[in-house]
Structure 1
Amino acid sequence: MSQIVRGVVARAKGAPVTIEQITIPAPGPGEAVVQVQACGVCHTDLHYREGGISDDYPFLLGHEAAGVVEAVGEGVTAIAPGDFVVLNWRAVCGNCRACLRGRPWYCFNTFNAEQKMTLDDGTELSPALGIGAFAEKTLVAAGQCTKVDPAVKAEVAGLLGCGVMAGLGAAVNTGNVGRGDSVAVIGCGGVGTAAVVGANLAGAARIIAIDLDERKLAVAKNLGATHTVHAAGLDQDGVVEAVQDLTGGFGADVVIDAVGRPETWKQAFYARDLAGTVVLVGVPTPDMRLEMPLLDFFGRGGSLKSSWYGDCLPSRDFPMLIDLHLQGRLPLDAFVSETIELDQVEEAFDKMHRGDVLRSVVVF
């Protein structure tokens, strides 16, 4: 039987979001209905509202979520009603060429629920990243639900659904940061700060946080950065020189670009040591272009990587990271700047844009 719940909808490019009545279908084969307990306000949701992802309006926003499985459809065996889960937006297929080669974190055929959630007039909604969790309940593919220890608070657990996993995984999984490495992180919002935490967790000896905002640098320092660079007023060369000065003149072993602009990527490229690694985890827009001397790519060697969702495997990484948090070894709660009501999402977008918060989290 279908259900009616409240949800946050973006109806048009740039327009303020609205609270709407959402129809949630009963789960079909391979699907699940999840009662959402908490959902973080991620910059990707703002990208959806602004038309930066697609123009498939209206969008049901929200994707960084945790909750309890309410019902499952035919053929679902991995989860059951009552399970506490973190939602993910890369449910692996198990059958594509990446999965069959033992690299499911690169799955080329991730999937979402087949049925559509709708407005009360029958208009089909596009759920953000296939989830749509700024709603009291949501319909997802069962593979988008990862069971974790229910002892964790929902507002903390849900952060693994996107930003924290993306940043932490960029350091640990994509960048392969190891003990004794030097790491520089450009951009210390939620994703970049999570990369700092990941580098610290991996045992990096030197972690350099770079940002234009002193408040963000203070948070990064508190969460594991050994050095900070206030980049306001510095050009590309100035940022590169600052990193080199802090690494014996060589540059960092791993540089993570958590901004995703041509100028920050160039800073990352030139701020790494010879044969070092650049990881791009910040999301560029389609219009951005990069022009550089090809000889520089050849002459410096090393690895240039893009990080998809922190190259995570939710079934492997989410339970492990929740366990580390419950053991006191991973400070996920430090990312929660405030908890808010569903009708405060638009205000939370403004706070995020101003850099006032790491994460606002809607709690139901």
Structure 2
Amino acid sequence: MSQTVRGVISRSRKQPVEVVEVVIPDPGPGEVVVDVIACGVCHTDLTYREGGINDEYPFLLGHEAAGTVESIGVGVTNVAVGDFVVLNWRAVCGRCRACKRGRPWYCFDTHNAAQKMTLTDGTELTPALGIGAFADKTLVHEGQCTKVDPEADPAVAGLLGCGMMAGIGAAINTGNVQRDDTVAVIGCGGVGDAAIAGARLVGAKQIIAVDTNDQKLDWARDFGATHTINAKEFDVVETIQDLTGGNGADVVIDAVGRPETWKQAFYARDLAGTVVLVGVPTPDMTLEMPLVDFFSRGGQLKSSWYGDCLPERDFPTLISLYREGRLPLEKFVSERIGLDDVEDAFHKMHAGEVLRSVVIL
């Protein structure tokens, strides 16, 4: 039998979110109902509200979530009732050409629940990133559930569901940062600071944080930045080169995703260095550069999708590192709020006052 819970929706473009009743159907084949315990407020949720993803309103927002499996559908083998899980938005298919070539983190046919959650009048909801976890419960595909240590704080664990994994993975998986590398990170919000934490975890000898906000640069130091640059006051490329013996950084991570920051990343790296784009550009952004610069500088230019992660591999490992005190994921939780506070959390995030507000259900 379906059940009705409270959830946060965006009904129309650029309008405040609403807390409404949401109908959760019983799980069908391969589906799972998760009792959500905590869900982080990610910038992607705000982008949905602003119309920056698509126009498939109304959206059921929220996707950085952890919770407990309440019920499972026919054929579910990945999880069992009672499992503590982190939700992910790239449930790999195992059958596409990327999966068959042993690169499932590039899966081209990821899964979501087949059934729709609805409003009480039957209006179908579009769940943010196929999850929709600003709700007491949500319906997802079994592959979107990754079991982790149940002793982990749900408010912390859930953040791996998007931003923290994107940043850590951009450094470790995509950027392949190694011990004694020099690393620069442009943009020190949640994703950028996660990249800094990831670079520190693997032993980068120098981590340079770049932002225009001094508060964010202070946060970056907490996560392991050895040097900071306020881009309003200093030339980013010249300063990174100066700090790295005139060479540039081995890996530069653009966590902003704008043409100007990508160019900074490109020119601030060492010869044959690596640029990682993890900030998401908008469709209207374009880039014009001399083609000879691409040839003459060599190296690798990469985009990082969800930190090129494989949730079943990466989530449990990162939770273990957090539990051992080696990865300070708890520092990303700026405040714990209720469902009614999501709109206010968007304003705080936009103003740079928080790294993550986390809804506790």
TM-score category (smaller protein): over 0.9
> TM-score w.r.t. structure 1 length?
0.99
CA distance in 1, matches of 2:348, 2:134: 17
2:221 is matched with: 221
CA distance in 1, matches of 2:17, 2:192: 27
1:321 to partner: Cα distance: 0.4
**1:329 is the counterpart of 2:326:** yes
In structure 2, the residue corresponding to 1:80 is in which secondary structure?
Answer: coil
2:173 is matched with: 173
1:49 is matched with: 49
**1:246 is the counterpart of 2:215:** no
1:47 to partner: Cα distance: 0.3
**1:310 is the counterpart of 2:330:** no
Q: How does 1:110-259 map to 2 (within 5 A)?
A: 110-234=110-234, 238-259=235-256
1:319 is matched with: 316
1:342 is matched with: 339
1:77 to partner: Cα distance: 1.0
Letter in 2 for 1:196: I
CA distance in 2, matches of 1:239, 1:224: 19
> TM-score w.r.t. structure 2 length?
1.00
Letter in 2 for 1:78: N
Percent identical across equivalent pairs? 74
Output one character per residue of 1:40-94: Cα deviation in whole Å (capped at 9) or x when no partner: 0000000000000000000000000000000000000110110000000000000
**1:16 is the counterpart of 2:16:** yes
**1:72 is the counterpart of 2:66:** no
Structure 1 gap segments, 5+ residues each: none
Q: CA RMSD in A?
A: 0.5
1:202 to partner: Cα distance: 1.0
CA distance in 2, matches of 1:232, 1:58: 38
CA distance in 2, matches of 1:291, 1:3: 52
Letter in 2 for 1:328: G
In structure 2, the residue corresponding to 1:180 is in which secondary structure?
Answer: coil
Output one character per residue of 1:85-120: Cα deviation in whole Å (capped at 9) or x when no partner: 000000000000000011100101001000000001
Output one character per residue of 1:138-192: Cα deviation in whole Å (capped at 9) or x when no partner: 0000000000000001000000000000000000000000000000000000000
In structure 2, the residue corresponding to 1:33 is in which secondary structure?
Answer: strand
**Count of aligned positions:** 361
Output one character per residue of 1:173-218: Cα deviation in whole Å (capped at 9) or x when no partner: 0000000000000000000000000000011000000000111111
1:222 to partner: Cα distance: 1.4
1:233 to partner: Cα distance: 3.9
Structure 2 gap segments, 5+ residues each: none
Letter in 1 for 2:185: V
Output one character per residue of 1:321-345: Cα deviation in whole Å (capped at 9) or x when no partner: 0011111111110000000010000
**1:96 is the counterpart of 2:71:** no
